[in-house]
Amino acid sequence: MDVDTRLGLIRQVGEEIITETELRSLLEAKAHPSAYDGFEPSGLAHLPFGVLRPILVDDMLKAGVRMKLWIADWFAWVNNKMGGDLEKIQQVGRYFVEVWKAAGVDMTKVDVLWTSDAAREEEYWKRVVTVAQNSTLARAQRALTIAGRTSKEALQAAQLFYPMMQVADIFWLDVDICQLGLDQRRANILAREIADKMKWKKPVAVHHHMLIGLEGKKEPEGYDENSALDAEIASKMSKSKPETSIFVHDGPEVIARKINSAYCPPKVVEGNALTEYSRYIVFRKRKSMLIERPEKYGGNVEYFSYGELADAFVSGKLHPADLKKGVAASLDEIIRPIRDHFEKDPAARRLYEAVRSTEATR
């Protein structure tokens, strides 16, 4: 596969690439560069984790990238997830791996690694301290938005370790690419600056889109000084708000109910949850979207691209109620194999039941 094709695949992943020139040079130099994506184990898998992330991993693998999936159990512990119970956090981590398998991620082509394993190594903590020595307290506090914390929240001193550890991870894992959400850009920018200062390998940052919740676009809440990015972070689908999220275990009736209550103003695609799910999930997993409707409303209609669907919606040819039916049916088809895996595989079912029974804390 030529460099332009590989670059095109990674462009499908990255809403922001810092920098594309560096990425091209990397692809020209390496047939199989390495990248990582990190996950705090907490709660049940929703669309961004269970469906969108595997889509992105698949594109990275097609581009020849060797992926490292970083189970950030100590980060979840520092961030008081799952009540601050490390054993429960690690149980969620094992469940996460099962979700990736069920979602079709080729686990033979990825390395699953755990922060708790790295934390046993003295060299890891030397990296953390070195990063901290080259960062100011103010910079660390600003970077805490990567942990999903706003500037208005009271923080524990332990949480100041979070950004220092995340930056250290990049160098500990020795990756060429940081493939994370846009909400993680502060850590990646800091890593690039420290790489220049310490003469360490400078990572390329590939930041993917953050899928919005069912309530649509929200106002900034203090996550970032950039108001546009702040609003994006505030709007992302959150597992801590179950009625504004779709989970990979939701059945067709639950999906339909949640979708019917979603923010979907007529003729508007900006901040519209349903057009967003169509763009980033349905048309990435399906060749078309079939929308069934009575003959008196024009009969069934099938769209073969997001652009075609968006044009019909903006023009008023596609009604929000019909779009909701099409998206609900499509998401159910996409989620069903994951849901079925956890219902039919006894070991997977036990993991799911254990995670479901534990109250996830934000």
Mean pLDDT of 31-38: 95
H helices within the chain, ranges in order?
Answer: 3-13, 20-29, 47, 53-62, 73-78, 86-102, 115-118, 122-133, 137-142, 161-172, 185-198, 227-235, 252-260, 273-277, 283-285, 306-315, 320-344, 346-357
d(CA 170, CA 77): 19
Give the tokens for residue 123: 């060299």
d(CA 98, CA 86): 19
Confidence of residue 223 (pLDDT cuts 50, 70, 90): low
Q: Which residues pair with 289 in a beta bridge?
A: 303
φ, ψ dihedrals at 173, nearest 5°: -75, -15
Q: pLDDT tens digits, residue range 141-193?
A: 777 777 666 555 556 777 788 889 899 999 999 999 999 998 898 899 999 99
Q: pLDDT tens digits, residue range 273-330?
A: 999 999 999 999 999 999 998 888 889 999 999 999 999 999 999 999 999 999 999 9
| Helix H or strand E encompassing 291 | strand 289-291
CATH of region 228-357: 1.10.240.10
Answer whether residue 227 shows pLDDT above 80: no
pTM: 0.89
| Helix H or strand E encompassing 1 | none
Give the tokens for residue 336: 């069903």
% of the chain surpassing 90 pLDDT: 72
pLDDT for position 360: 45
- Range list for CATH 3.40.50.620 in the chain: 3-214
d(CA 272, CA 169): 35
Answer whether residue 136 shows pLDDT above 60: yes
CB 121 within 8 A of CB 154: no
d(CA 128, CA 135): 11
Mean pLDDT of 111-116: 95
Q: Which residue has the higher pLDDT, 51 or 84?
A: 51
φ, ψ dihedrals at 178, nearest 5°: -100, 110
Kindly indicate whether the domain formed by 3-214 is annotated with CATH number 3.90.650.10: no
Give the tokens for residue 61: 């693998």
Answer whether residue 269 shows pLDDT above 60: yes
CB 289 within 8 A of CB 278: yes
- Mean pLDDT of all residues in the chain? 90
Peptide bond into 19 cis (omega under 30): yes
Coil/strand/helix, residue 208? strand
φ, ψ dihedrals at 209, nearest 5°: -65, 145
- Range list for CATH 1.10.240.10 in the chain: 228-357
CB 321 within 8 A of CB 358: no
The CA-to-CA distance between both ends of the chain, in Å, stands at 43
CB 82 within 8 A of CB 92: yes
Query: How many CB atoms lie under 10 A from the CB of residue 163?
Result: 26
